[in-house]
Amino acid sequence: MHADKMQEINDVGLIDLISIIVRRRFLIIILTCIAMFGSVVFSILSLIISPDKSPFPNLYSPQSNMLINDSSSTGGAFSSMLNSSGLGNLASLAGLSSSSGATYSSLALYLLTTNSFLDHIVENFQIIQHYKIKSFERTTSRNLVKKKMSSKFDDSTGVFSISYTDIDPIFAQAIVNFATKQLEKRFEEIGIDKNKLQKENLERNLTNTLDEIQRLEQASQRLMRGLGSTGRLADGTSFLLESTRLELELEAQKTVYTELKTQYELTKVKMASETPVFQILEYAEVPDQKSGPSRGTLCIIVTFAAFFFSVFLAFLLNAIDNIKKDPEAMAKLKGTRS
């Protein structure tokens, strides 16, 4: 019996709610339609107005991709590398320690947020002037770049991505590619990819040694041309002594060149058999499609929000009408005012 009574009360309450909505249906429909129409007009106007003045402009997010080999970031090697590069203390403050399972990808994420890295972008692209920053220029410009630039690492593929969001796709692409090159430069400065550094050093030494060999050969030819009938050079120096000295130096340089060339070829073979720690896969392109915002989603959200608000408003107006019709409630309100 009690359950039937409760069911009857619930039915009456549901009927009352439906009756309020039906009675105020024009209010609900009008407010919802106004919101829907307004959001559509707002979306269209945001497309027509120039991006720098539009309240809802198109945003573009070009992206570059790099390959970071985390499998080679063993604890001991990683820790010693950070300490030798001078980043040990700073990295530990950021949570990059070998004991916490730090990786090269986490180091890359950290480097992108350092003040020196951000300042390079701010200065190179005149961020302060571009975005017309007036107060706390250094801090504000850093935070703005940090907010607009995003990065992520895909554990399954080892691909590290950098993107920058702006209304100007060309400007955003330039920043992404600059950041990519700067990150590669920082990895090289830290000395993570030992094989790559060794290859570059060997290439420089090979070039210098080859130049020295050519210089000695040219000096030997000049020596032959300057040989006089007395067996001495124009300055009185013994031809035999000078020729012997040049031959010894030339042989020594050729021996050094042979050893360097052997090391160079072995390093190339080693690099071919191993995955590099950091490798740029592709630079960012100028995007021809926006990354946001979704104006269709905005219209849907505004329409539904207006509908629920109008329903709430209908119940509120009905409650006010009921209070006005209730003498006892009105008396209480008048007593409160007095």
pLDDT in tens, 248-300: 888 899 999 899 888 888 877 776 666 677 889 999 999 989 988 888 999 99
pLDDT, residue 12, reads 44
DSSP track, 137-182: HHHHHHHHHHHHEEEEEETTTTEEEEEE-BS-HHHHHHHHHHHHHH
Three-class DSSP category at 316 = helix
75-126: pLDDT as tens digits: 445 455 545 545 555 445 444 444 445 688 888 899 999 999 999 999 999 9
Tell me: pLDDT of 217 over 60: yes
- First-to-last C-alpha distance (Å) of the chain: 46
Q: How far from 192 is each of 103, 111, 149, 158, 314, CA to CA, in Å?
A: 12, 14, 24, 16, 66
Of residues 144, 165, 149, 148, the one with CA closest to residue 60: 165
- Percent of the residues in the chain that have a pLDDT greater than 70, as a whole number: 77
Distances in Å between the alpha carbon of 250 and those of 206, 218, 238, 314?
14, 11, 18, 99
Kindly give, in sequence order, each residue whose CB lies less than 8 Å from that of residue 232, ignoring residues fewer than 6 positions away.
238, 239
The answer to whether residue 200 scores a pLDDT higher than 70 is yes
What is the mean predicted confidence (pLDDT) over 206-218? 89
pLDDT at 165: 96
41-51 mean pLDDT: 88
Return all residues near 105 (Cβ < 8 A) that are at least 6 apart: 68, 70, 153, 158, 160
187-193 average pLDDT score: 72
For the stretch 219-243, pLDDT in tens is 888 777 765 545 555 555 666 677 8
pLDDT of residue 94: 47
Q: What band does 309 get if pLDDT is binned at 50, 70 and 90?
A: very high
Asked if 73 contacts 49 with a C-beta cutoff of 8 angstroms, the reply is no
Angstrom distances, CA of residue 198 to CA of 92, 123, 152, 265: 28, 32, 29, 11
Tell me, what DSSP letter sits at residue 112? T
What is the share, in percent, of the chain residues with pLDDT greater than 90? 37
Any idea which of 37-41, 54-58, 185-189, 226-230 has the lowest mean pLDDT?
226-230
How many other CB atoms are found less than 10 A from the CB of residue 228?
10
